[in-house]
């Protein structure tokens, strides 16, 4: 799987001009049909989408091209999950967060538990990325908890990426920077 931008026309252009590279071997990816339709939950309701698939011209591996709105193996948009994490960092519990986002409490509790377990890894990976994007960046100020520290690192790295790369929201940036694994057992951040 490869996390790509949200504009399908741009993704097609990148495929045509051989600018997408295989995450396994670094060779050029070519178009290879589509993945099965997915039903995901965005901020404004259910979104049905059919991700592009691409095949490596060298190693033959196939990869689903997932827009950076989504995370691997999560049905909800990264912006929705991000809003839950921000509320958690501000001290809210999973039930009020779930009610505010109109999601099941058990789902939100699952996101928060996963992120708490990964927060230190995310913080270290995104801090490394921040300084790669901006070697002059000022030091990160420690916050009240590991979740807030991790969010600070995501926000700062995303802001540095806006300056260096292109303007995307911090949560789309986090999805892409972590290769979609923001809440997964083995994050690929850093």
Asked if 176 contacts 64 with a C-beta cutoff of 8 angstroms, the reply is: no
Q: How far is the CB of 2 from Zn ion (least distance, A)?
A: 11
Distance of alpha carbon 73 from alpha carbon 37, whole angstroms: 14
Give the three-state DSSP class for 101.
helix
The DSSP symbol for 141 reads P
Helices (H), 53-184: 78-89, 94-101, 105-133, 146-164, 170-177
Q: How far is the CB of 156 from Zn ion (least distance, A)?
A: 32
Q: How far is the CB of 28 from Zn ion (least distance, A)?
A: 9
Q: How far is the CB of 183 from Zn ion (least distance, A)?
A: 26
Q: How far is the CB of 54 from Zn ion (least distance, A)?
A: 10
Choose between 22 and 161: whose C-beta lies nearer to Zn ion. Answer: 22
Choose between 30 and 159: whose C-beta lies nearer to Zn ion. Answer: 30
Distance of alpha carbon 27 from alpha carbon 36, whole angstroms: 24
Asked if 125 contacts 189 with a C-beta cutoff of 8 angstroms, the reply is: yes
Choose between 24 and 120: whose C-beta lies nearer to Zn ion. Answer: 24
Judged by the rule CB under 5 A, the positions of this chain that interact with Zn ion are 22, 24-25, 27, 56, 59, 61
The C-alpha torsion from 63 through 65 and 68 to 74, rounded to 10°, is: -60
Centre a 10 Å sphere on the Cβ of residue 25 and count the other Cβ atoms it contains: 12
Choose between 59 and 165: whose C-beta lies nearer to Zn ion. Answer: 59
Choose between 29 and 133: whose C-beta lies nearer to Zn ion. Answer: 29
């Amino acid at each position: 799987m490869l996390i790509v931008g949200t504009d399908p026309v741009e993704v097609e252009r990148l495929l045509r001009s051989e600018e997408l590279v295989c995450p396994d071997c670094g060779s050029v990816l070519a178009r290879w049909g589509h993945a099965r339709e997915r039903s995901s939950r965005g901020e404004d309701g259910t979104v049905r989408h059919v991700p592009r698939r691409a095949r490596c011209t060298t190693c033959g591996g196939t990869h689903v091209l997932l827009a950076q709105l989504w995370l691997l193996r999560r049905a909800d948009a990264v912006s929705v999950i991000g809003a839950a994490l921000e509320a958690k960092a501000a001290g809210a519990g999973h039930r009020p967060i779930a009610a505010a986002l109109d999601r099941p409490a058990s789902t939100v509790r699952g996101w928060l538990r996963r992120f708490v377990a990964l927060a230190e890894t995310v913080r270290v990976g995104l801090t490394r990325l921040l300084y790669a994007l901006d070697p002059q960046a000022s030091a990160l100020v420690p916050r009240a908890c590991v979740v807030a520290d991790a969010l600070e690192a995501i926000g700062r790295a995303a802001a540095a990426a806006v300056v260096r790369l292109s303007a995307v929201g911090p949560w789309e940036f986090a999805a892409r920077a972590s290769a979609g694994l923001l809440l997964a057992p083995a994050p690929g951040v850093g």
